[in-house]
Amino acid sequence: MKTLLSVIGARPQFIKAAPVSRAVRAQGGFRDIIVHTGQHFDRDMSDVFFDELGLPKPDHHLGIHGGGHGAMTGRMIVALEELSLAVKPDAFVIYGDTNSTLAAAIVAAKLYIPIAHIEAGLRSFKPMPEEINRVVADRVSRWLLCPTDLAVRNLAAEGISEGVYNVGDVMYDTTLLIRDRANQHSKIIDELGLTPGAFSLATIHRAENTDSAEALAEVASYLAEVARERPVVLPLHPRTRQAAAKFNIDLSSLRIIDPVGYLDMTALIAGCQSVLTDSGGVQKEAYFHRKPCVTLRDATEWVETVETGWNRLWKGPDYLPRRDNNAYGDGHAAEKIVDILAAQT
């Protein structure tokens, strides 16, 4: 039996890994060893997703978090190399664009272990940490498992065409798996005293919005303006909480809550009037639930959401006319990924 070493560590990776891990178990041909790097570690940002999404407990927890990019990535490289030498996997499976993705990519590439990169080919064409991580991961991966045609074209423009597949978006798989359960079980809208369809949901966590007082103050004042019209619920990311405290930013006009689990998050997205976010995943989920989204950034990787008229950049032009588009696949991305790996490892 072939062994996969699946490396995850940050919140969006737990959400992306859930359908893949499920499809791996259903296929039955692999031993899947799950490594949690520790990048996100508390209950709100980590454990709740394992519980709610049925993701098996990690086989290894590296407990690495905090510090600068170099310190964090470096410690992960050391630990993942040791683990990989002991486990001798037939392939690495990595997700998205975090420091955990980068560390795993470098380790696997130097040990000549083939890498499957899930969510390959995304580009913002901006000099941001995530872009560096994804470009490096794509260069060294054997299987580039793209969520969209655009991602395939981005790779082609960089001269990468071998091992490239458009399988669809694994987060769409997750949304379809969880949607009904969220509707039935989440009570968050009631608990917060909100009226369905009459509030906005916001998330902020990107470095470009949290690293300087000016940037965070600008986002906060944008959200405060929306809050004059309707309640704005903001599940506050730990990084943003720290930045707001450090820069003394007033968030008092917003409904601040702790980060929520995936059932509650899905219910909030499905039940809101609109979404305001700098998160890649949340932009897509707004589209999956057909909610208008304003992206609190100067660029987006998820261009299809803008082209279909459901998303716009906060400082950019108004929404384009709405149209329907199945740009993110058919909800079976995970099975397609497992079929490719089963045929080729």
Restricted to residues 193-222, the positions that interact with ligand UDP (CB under 6 A) are 203, 205
Residue 65 contacts ligand UDP per CB under 6 A: no
Q: Within 10 Å of residue 115's Cβ, how many Cβ atoms? A: 25
9, 19, 168, 235: residue in contact with ligand UDP (rule CB under 6 A): 235
DSSP assigned state of 332: -
* Residue nearer to ligand UDP on the CB measure, 168 or 235: 235
Alpha-carbon distance of 14 to 170, in angstroms, equals: 11
Closest CA to 266 of 225, 235, 232: 235
User: What residues form DSSP beta bridges with 257?
Assistant: 235
Instruction: Name the phi and psi angles at 312, rounded to 5.
Output: -150, 160
**Stretches 64-72, 146-154, 223-231, 254-262: which one binds ligand UDP (CB under 6 A)?**
254-262
Query: CA 140, CA 296: separation in Å to the nearest integer?
Result: 31
| Helix or strand holding residue 4 (H, E) | strand 2-8
Q: Does residue 265 touch ligand UDP according to CB under 6 A?
A: yes
In the residue annotation, 61 being an active-site residue is answered as no
Tell which positions 6-35 bind ligand UDP, by CB under 6 A. 11-12, 15
Is 282 an interacting residue with respect to ligand UDP (CB under 6 A)? Answer: yes
Is residue 305 within the footprint of ligand UDP (CB under 6 A)? no
**94 touches ligand UDP (CB under 6 A):** no
> What one-character DSSP code corresponds to residue 322?
P
Query: Which residue from 12, 210, 189 is spatially nearest to 100, judged by alpha carbons?
Result: 12
CB 214, min distance to ligand UDP, A: 21
342 touching ligand UDP, by CB under 6 A? no
| Chain positions contacting ligand UDP, by CB under 6 A | 11-12, 15, 203, 205, 235, 259-260, 262, 265, 279-282, 285
Catalytic (active-site) positions: 205
